[in-house]
Amino acid sequence: MSSTTRSKSHVSVLTSAINPLANPRGAKKLCELCQNLAYLQCTKCRVTFYCDTEHQQADWVGIHEKICQLLIPIRTAMPFHSLQADRDHHRAQILHRQEELIEISRAVAQKKLFEGKYQESLPAAQLSLRCAMDVYGPSAVQLVPAYLLLAEANVGLGSLSQAEGYLSQAEWTVMKTPECSHTVRHQLHRNLGRLYTATENLEGALLHFANDVASTWHSHLTKLLETHTPGSMTLEHSFDEAQQAEADQMLRAMLKVQESSPKQATAQNTLVAHSLAMLWFLGGSPDKALEFGRKALQSSQLVPDHSLTEPIQGLLQLAAERGPHLTIAS
Ligand SMILES: [Zn+2]
Ligand SMILES: [Zn+2]
């Protein structure tokens, strides 16, 4: 393999790791990929270290090839500046390069995911997360895109519990950042949706995400329906066709999972079926709205909390008026 020989040619054994006395400052060098003690050093930048050639190669192919030189100023100790202004300028420069590094590694990870190279996307996604932590702190909302990349890679690799871990961190971060942008929330919900559609047999551990996604969609659609005026097809103002299809696919996947899981509370089924009914009603398909509306009504009557029964009945009536060839009773 050409990449193997190419990448092996610029890695050298790290003498300080083998003999700790050779590193008088005592800073332990850790592997770029696994954070274990490193024994190898990239000879091109001399600021990146690895535990073995396997991790060096994986990192080279995954991201390091593209950022090796960029890391030199970031990871080299700040030169001595006597003037405060010089120190500030140097810090600003480093920050700018770190932001650049976050962007590059994020783009590389995204491209590899797009190509279906899940394993290969991990080094770039991990670097993007670590770098964002350095710049913004360990619980900043800026970490969410990196969490989503890591989650997506793990879904692709079939490591669902890992994916869940990253998504729960993303979820937690978004929840405690009320000012978090709509785009980031949308990305998170898209990703959660993908997790559901990608997962045929959903484990119970993942179900609580479905609850959150379902209630988000439910309240969003309820708001849309409240502002809906008869005679206007309002959905196209808030969704394009692709988004509508995506929402439909995701909600249906959830409904399917819930229906096949006997322990799942029917309150959740009601919420999802009601969301689907609203989605199709607003999308101008009263027939489908009736189909899901009836499902929602059925499960709402099975739970002690009937708060949704009335809105569902109201929707069924509206849908029946739109689709005169069908009746509620059928
Ligand atoms: Zn390693
Ligand atoms: Zn390097």
At 97-152, the pLDDT tens digits run 999 999 999 999 999 999 999 999 999 999 999 999 999 998 888 898 899 899 98
How many A from CA of 276 to the centre of ligand 2? Answer: 51
User: How is residue 199 written in tokens?
Assistant: 């997962």
Q: Express each pLDDT in 194-210 by its tens digit.
A: 666 665 544 544 555 66
pLDDT at 290 over 50: yes
- Residue 301's identity, in one-letter code, is Q
Distance, CA of 275 to CA of 181 (rounded, Å) = 23
* 204 vs 242: which has the higher pLDDT: 242
Tell me the CA–centroid distance for residue 51 and ligand 1, in Å.
4
Cα 89 to ligand 2 centre (Å): 25
The pLDDT of residue 7 is: 45
Distance in Å, CA 113 to ligand 1 centroid: 22
Task: Work out the pLDDT band at 232, boundaries 50, 70, 90.
Answer: low
Of 220, 209, 223, 290, nearest to 253 by C-alpha is: 209
pLDDT at 100: 95
Ligand lying nearest the CA atom of residue 66: 2
Q: For 207, left (φ over 0), alpha (ψ -120 to 50), or beta?
A: alpha
Express each pLDDT in 32-88 by its tens digit: 999 999 999 999 999 999 999 999 999 999 999 999 999 999 998 777 777 888 888
Say what percent of the chain tops pLDDT 90: 37
The least confident of 36-40, 220-224, 309-313 is 220-224
**Ligand number with the minimum distance to the CA of 75:** 2
The alpha carbon of 50 and the centre of ligand 1 are apart by a number of angstroms equal to: 5
Strand partners, 289: none
Q: Are 100 and 70 in contact (CB under 8 A)?
A: yes
Which strands, in side-by-side order, build the sheet including 49-50?
11-13, 40-42, 49-50
Confidence at residue 125, expressed as pLDDT on a 0 to 100 scale = 97
For residue 120, the CA-to-ligand 1 centroid distance in Å is: 15
249 — pLDDT class (breaks 50, 70, 90): confident
**Which of 34, 213, 51 shows the shortest CA–CA distance to 42?**
51
Of the pLDDT bands very low, low, confident and very high (cuts 50, 70, 90), residue 159 is confident
Rounded-to-integer distance, Cα 220 and Cα 242, Å: 17
Ligand 2 centre and the CA of 146: distance in Å? 22
pLDDT value at residue 35: 92
Q: Which ligand does the CA of 30 lie closest to?
A: 1
Ligand (nearest to CA of 50): 1
Query: Average pLDDT in the 274-283 region?
Result: 89
42 or 161, greater pLDDT: 42
* Ligand sitting nearest the alpha carbon of 10: 2
- Cβ 54 vs Cβ 66: under 8 Å: no
Distance from the alpha carbon of residue 109 to the mean position of ligand 2, in angstroms = 18
Ranked by mean pLDDT, the top range of 89-98, 182-191, 219-228, 316-325 is: 89-98
Q: What rounded mean pLDDT belongs to the chain?
A: 80
Q: Is the model more confident about 82 or about 178?
A: 82
CA of 167 to the centre of ligand 2 (A): 30
Ligand 2 centroid, distance to 24 Cα (angstroms): 23
Q: Which residues make Cβ contacts (< 8 Å) with residue 68, sequence separation at least 6?
A: 42, 44, 45, 48
Ligand nearest to the CA of 63: 2
Give CA–CA dist 315/270, Å, rounded.
13
- Model confidence at 328, pLDDT cuts 50, 70, 90, reads very low
pLDDT digits (tens, 9 = 90+) for 298-307: 888 887 777 8
- Which ligand approaches the C-alpha of residue 31 most closely? 1
Of the candidate ranges 90-99, 268-277, 320-329, the one whose mean pLDDT is the lowest: 320-329
Cα of 3 vs centre of ligand 2, distance in Å, is 15
Q: Calculate how far, in angstroms, residue 148's C-alpha sits from the geometric centre of ligand 1.
A: 23
How many angstroms is it from 44 CA to the middle of ligand 1? Answer: 18
